[in-house]
Structure 1
Amino acid sequence: MKNYFDKFPDSYLESSRRRIQTPSAFARSAFFYVQETGYLKLRESHVASRKNLESYLVVLVLSGSGVLMYDGILYELQKGSCFFIDCMVPYYHQSSETDPWELIWVHFNGSSSREYYQYFAANSAPAFLPADFDTLRQKLTGLLDLNENSDFQTEINSARLIVDILSILLQDITESREEKYPGRLKMTEVKKYLDEHYTEKFSLDELSERFFLSKYHLSREFHLYYGTTLNQYVISRRLTQAKKLLRFSALTLEEIARGCGFYDASYLNRQFKNSEGITASEFRKKWKN
Structure 2
Amino acid sequence: MTIHKTVFPLQRTAPFREWSPIIHYAKSQKLEQGKLAPRRIYNFELLYVSQGEAATIMNGRRYELSTGHLIFLPSGVLHQNEVVSPGGTRFLGIHFDFFGELDIHTEYDMIVGDAAPDLDRFATEAVPDVFPPLSQQVVYTPTLACVALMEQLVNEFTMRPLGYELACKALMLNILAHLLRLPHSRSHAFSSQHAIRLQELAEEIERHPSAAWTNAMIAERLDLSLDHAAKLFRELVGRPPGEYVASIRHREARKLLRETDMSIEEIGDAVGYSGIHYFSRQFRKHEGVSASEYRKLSQVL
Coarse TM-score class (shorter-chain normalised): 0.3 to 0.5
What is the TM-score normalised by the length of structure 1? 0.43
What is the TM-score normalised by the length of structure 2? 0.41
Larger radius of gyration: 1
Bigger relative CO (Cα 8 Å, ≥ 6 apart): 2
